[in-house]
Amino acid sequence: MNVTQIEKAVKEIYERVKSESLGEEEDMLINVLHKVQDHFGNFIPPEAAETLAELMDIPVSRIYEVLTFYTMFSTKPRGKYVIRVCESTPCHVTGGKAVVEALKEALGIDFNQTTEDGLFTLEYSSCLGLCGVAPVMMVNDMAYGNLTPERVKAIIEELRGGEAK
Amino acid sequence: MPVAVVANTVLICAGGACISAGEKSVKQVFEEKLKEFALDSVVRVVETGCMGACNLGPLAVIYPEGIFYQKLTPQAAEEVVVEHLLKGRPVEKYLYKGPAGEVKAKAQEELPFFKRQVKIATRNLGVIDPTDIEEYIGRDGYFALMKALKEMTPEQVISEIKASGLRGRGGAGFPTGLKWDICRRNEADQKFIICNADEGDPGAFMDRSILEGDPHSVLEGMAIGAYAIGASKGFIYVRAEYPLAIERLNIAIEQAREYGFLGERVLGTDFSFDIEIRIGAGAFVCGEETALMASIEGERGQPRVKPPYPVESGLWGKPTVINNVETLANVPPIILKGSEWFASIGTETSKGTKVFALAGKVRNTGLVEVPMGITLRELIYEIGGGIPGGKRFKAVQTGGPSGGCIPADYLDVTVDYESLKELGTIMGSGGMVVMDEDDCMVDVAKFFLGFTVDESCGKCTPCREGTKVMYDILEKITSGEGTREDLEKLKELAQFISEASLCGLGQTAPNPVLSTMKYFWDEYVAHVEEKRCPAKRCKALIRYVIDPERCVGCTACARVCPVNAITGEVRKPHEIDPEICTRCGSCMEVCRFDAISKVSP
């Protein structure tokens, strides 16, 4: 994707969010960043941040000040599937560690890394609020509960298989 | 239009936990099979919010009888359609069974887990379809808003909430009516009401369940609050970790606008009010109200000094009320049924009910709403069903990273804001993580400190640097390098951090350490003086040993050991080399002869 395409896409997103918002302009930043990140495949390219700064008439440093504060925004490309595994107490005491190991093994990567085929990124997550079925992980917006090492491997295989088709 | 005769209604729990356990495929089979047998015109399938019993999911209840099915699979759904809905015979194998194997077909009427509950904030969870505003209206929804707007002055609304004794359910327990009153008295051209749905405490998920299962009750509570304080605009700040809650809130807001409960001139009155959703981006500190407002304004979510409080100078410097999800869900019933009714439930200082999330080492995990003043024993043993696996109860952790651990000696203490505070913990948002004899309290304290270190926003030094130093000391203790002086230093730091930190996150961060030191001092001493971990959890302080009397030499352990630390001939007792062993515990899991045990030191 070249710079003009990125600029065009960011501009469209910005206008859309602006038209949906009921309030002030300044506070749209986080909302826009979410949408920009979704659009560019789980990360915010530097060109997009620059375009946004121009549109909102604020310094680029302001954009980065905000986006680097929040763990869910990424400045480097991530996989198509961002796997976020919960590391909170209820998941910890119900076997979360073995699940994490199985994930690393099935993916062949460590935390905050992306597989070579660009499919998966592995990240830790704060509590997902599904403690009744711990251990839990989310793959993009889909939650998976009652995880075991076997179940984790099957889920990864299924996603991989779906991609191969 | 012909009136459809509905013979049965199948309520399927579509709470987050049941969805993650496979609810969608179960529902699909229900619908397909009903169609196949031409039952789809007389049997309704409705997806509801969380029914509470998360460990039994996916769940479904079939009315009119109220037959409760648990742990459903697509295969089970087919059987239920054929046997129960077609032939009228409940399928026993998917019904709830008690510890002795007794079948409880109507579990919701029979089990203490359901029976002991008093549902106010969660009144509609598991009963209505959260995506259909008419079902909410059918359960008296928006009648409280109508009553407030048409029959009450804002002052009357505030005095009703004051008289009810409702206190904030997000943690600190500030009286809601008083907060509204102060905000009302502050004159300004614009005021805001914010719903704090940035539920971040590990182990707490009541807000998620309410937002997913009954979003309209939160919207109605906000609209009533806005009318009371004089706000024309509201924000719901939801964490990005809750996509389903965001989706259902969006639907609910659209519907409420359509029906005239939100927007210009609500219900034909002079009151105008609208709500916008703001999504977090993974920062725990944004649950702190000043940080939350900064995040809504599009800034880094960092807290600021209070005072001024938000009710004086909040969002964009305007008077702002910030209420928690559960608090707001309590508002409509109070307006409708009156403050006297609400105040008749609970204790002298803590009125009404509280929703608790039971998790950890407890048989029945999930959400329960119980009257304030219930004892921990009732909550954990009667409702929670006790500790699984014949283990001994050790402690219950309340209040998340801001709270503390309560030991067995205090199981008969009543659960209310004051008594928990006296025990050195807090009510918090209502997460209860139960721990048994296998949990090391020093390790638990370290776990929470690790959480705070990660989530500290970095603005003030005591929290940013202090929690890290505390964490390092705990790490030292759990790896067997700790000294008596370290324990003193921990105490000193804890005191300093709680006094000098800027916001609630830092002020309460030492609580998990202080409370475990208070009740489990012996465990800390054992770690530093005897280099012993009584719970046999801290890897550096334990060894795995094989009992030669019991070992038959089956070689199962040697084969599973990832580092080849186990040696021995076939049919002869094996041995573990502690120098090579990584304490992964795999050998103990595979041994069928109970020959392997952990020892410390």
Indicate yes or no: CB of A34 within 8 angstroms of CB of B204.
no
Q: Nearest CA to CA, how far is B154 from chain A (Å)? A: 25
d(CA B486, CA B473): 7
Q: Which residue, among B13, B18, B19, B20, would best test binding to A if mutated, counting the most A CBs under 10 Å from its CB?
A: B20
The torsion defined by the Cα of A124, A128, A130 and A136, in degrees rounded to 10, comes to: -20
pLDDT at B385 over 90: yes
Interface probe with A: pick from B250, B299, B441, B454, most Cβ of A within 10 Å: B299
- Cβ within 8 Å, pair B55-A71: no
Q: Which of B285, B429, B448, B287 lies closest to B357 in space, CA to CA?
A: B429
Q: Which pLDDT does position B177 carry in this prediction?
A: 98
Measured distance CA(B558)–CA(B574) in Å, rounded: 8
Q: Do B21 and A66 touch (CB under 8 A)?
A: no
- Contact present, B273 and B233 (Cβ < 8 Å): yes
Does the pLDDT at position A24 exceed 80? no
- On average, the pLDDT of chain B sits at 94
Query: Is A20 exposed, middle or buried (CB count within 10 Å of its CB: 0-12, 13-18, 19+)?
Result: exposed
Reply yes or no on whether the pLDDT at B96 is more than 80.
yes
The verdict on a CB contact (< 8 Å) between B54 and A72 is no
The ipTM value here is 0.90
**Chain A interface residues facing chain B, Cβ-Cβ under 8 Å?**
21-24, 26-31, 33-34, 65-66, 69-73, 88-90, 92-94, 125-134, 136, 138, 141, 143-146
pLDDT digits (tens, 9 = 90+) for B525-578: 999 999 999 999 999 999 999 999 999 999 999 998 989 999 999 999 999 999
Contact residues on chain B for A24, CB-CB shorter than 8 A: 316
Please state the three-class secondary structure of B458-527 as a single string. Answer: CCCHHHHHHHHHHHHHHHHHHCCCCCHHHHHHHHHHHHHHHHHCCCHHHHHCCHHHHHHHHHCHHHHHHH
Alpha-carbon distance B585 to nearest alpha carbon in chain A (angstroms)? 11
Give pLDDT, residue A25: 60
For residue A4, report the phi and psi dihedrals to the nearest 5 degrees. -65, -40
Calculate the CA B281 to chain-centre distance.
19
Three-class SS state of A58: coil
pLDDT for the residue numbered A165:
67
pLDDT of the residue at B482: 96
Q: How far apart are CA B573 and CA B584, in angstroms?
A: 20
Provide CB contacts within 8 A for B453, sequence distance 6+: B467, B468, B471
| Eight-state DSSP code of residue B532 | -
Query: Are A130 and B295 within 8 A, CB to CB?
Result: no
Q: Judge: B281–A71 Cβ closer than 8 Å, yes or no.
A: yes
Residue B205: list chain A partners with CB under 8 A: 127, 129-132
Nearest residue of B to residue A137 by CA position? B20
Range scoring the smallest mean pLDDT among B1-10, B189-198, B430-439: B1-10
Percent helix, strand, coil in chain A (nearest 5)? 55, 10, 35
Query: Rounded to whole angstroms, how far apart are CA atoms B368 and B380?
Result: 11
Q: Is the pLDDT of residue B221 over 90?
A: yes
Q: What are phi and psi of A129, to 5 degrees?
A: 70, 25
List CB contacts of B67: < 8 A, sequence separation 6 or more.
B61, B84, B90, B95, B105, B106
Number of Cα atoms under 13 Å in the Cβ half of residue B23: 30
* Closest residue to B20, CB basis, from A26, A93, A145: A145
A28-49: per-residue pLDDT in tens?
A: 889 999 999 999 988 999 999 9
- Chain A residues within 8 A of B435 when measuring between CB atoms: 93
CB contact under 8 A, A126 and B284: yes
| Chain centroid to CA B152 | 34
B475, two tokens? 């790490």
* E strand or H helix that includes residue B225: helix B215-229
Nearest residue of B to residue A124 by CA position? B282
Q: Among A29, A133, A152, A158, which would you mutate to test the B interface (most chain B Cβ atoms within 10 Å of its Cβ)? A: A133
Of the candidates B218, B415, B435, B420, the one whose C-alpha atom is nearest the C-alpha of residue B324 is B218
A163 band by pLDDT with thresholds 50, 70 and 90: confident
Q: Is the pLDDT of residue B2 over 60?
A: no
- Number of other CB atoms surrounding residue B584 within 10 Å: 18
List phi, psi (to 5°) of A14: -60, -45
Contacts of A134 in chain B (CB under 8 A): 359
Q: Considering only the beta carbons, identify the residue of B283, B360, B451 that sits closest to A69.
A: B283
| Inter-chain touch A126–B282, beta carbons under 8 Å | yes
Q: Which residues of B touch A61 (CB under 8 A)?
A: none
Q: What are B386-413's pLDDT values in tens digits?
A: 999 999 999 999 998 899 999 999 999 9
User: Nearest by CB to B54, which of A24, A28, A133?
Assistant: A133
Q: How many residues does chain A have?
A: 165
Which residue, among B72, B405, B57, B361, has the nearest Cα to B209 in the 3D structure? B57
Give the percent of chain B with pLDDT over 90.
88
B297 exposure class (CB count in 10 Å sphere: 0-12, 13-18, 19+): middle
Distance (Å) from the C-alpha of residue B451 to the closest C-alpha of chain A?
Answer: 8
Residue B21 has pLDDT above 80, yes or no: yes
A–B: how many Cβ contacts below 8 A?
Answer: 143
User: Could B16 and A34 be called an inter-chain contact, meaning their C-beta atoms sit closer than 8 Å?
Assistant: no
Cross-chain residue pair A72–B204, CB shorter than 8 Å: no
For residue A133, give how far its alpha carbon lies from the nearest alpha carbon of chain B (Å).
Answer: 6
Task: Decide if B54 and A132 are in contact by the 8 Å CB cutoff.
Answer: yes
Condensed to tens digits (0 to 9), the pLDDT of residues B474-485 reads 999 999 999 999
Q: What is the DSSP letter of B346?
A: B
Cβ distance of A27 and B208 shorter than 8 Å:
no
B296 vs A22, A27, A66: nearest CB: A27
**B433 vs A89, A125, A144: nearest CB:** A89
Which of chain A's residues have a Cβ under 8 Å away from the Cβ of B210?
A: none
What is the predicted pLDDT for the residue at B589? 85
Q: Give which of A131, A165, A132, A133 is closest to A151, Cα–Cα.
A: A133
pLDDT tens, residue by residue, A102-130 = 999 999 999 999 999 999 999 998 888 88
Residues of B whose CB is below 8 A from A66: 298-300
Q: In terms of CA atoms, which chain A residue is nearest residue B302? A: A69
The answer to whether the CB atoms of A134 and B359 lie below 8 A apart is: yes
Candidate from B21, B299, B360 with C-beta closest to A89: B360
Tens of pLDDT along B254-313? 999 999 999 999 999 999 999 999 999 988 999 999 999 999 998 999 999 999 999 999
In angstroms, the separation between the Cα of residue A116 and the nearest Cα of chain B is: 26
d(CA B350, CA B346): 6
Burial-class residue B110 by CB neighbours within 10 Å (0-12, 13-18, 19+): middle
Report CB contact under 8 Å: A131, B205: yes
Cα-only R_g, chain B: 27
- Grouping H, G, I as helix, E, B as strand and the rest as coil, residue B35 is helix
H/E stretch holding B85: none
Q: What pLDDT score was predicted for residue B584?
A: 84
Per-residue pLDDT, B1: 43
Task: Output the pLDDT for position B4.
Answer: 56
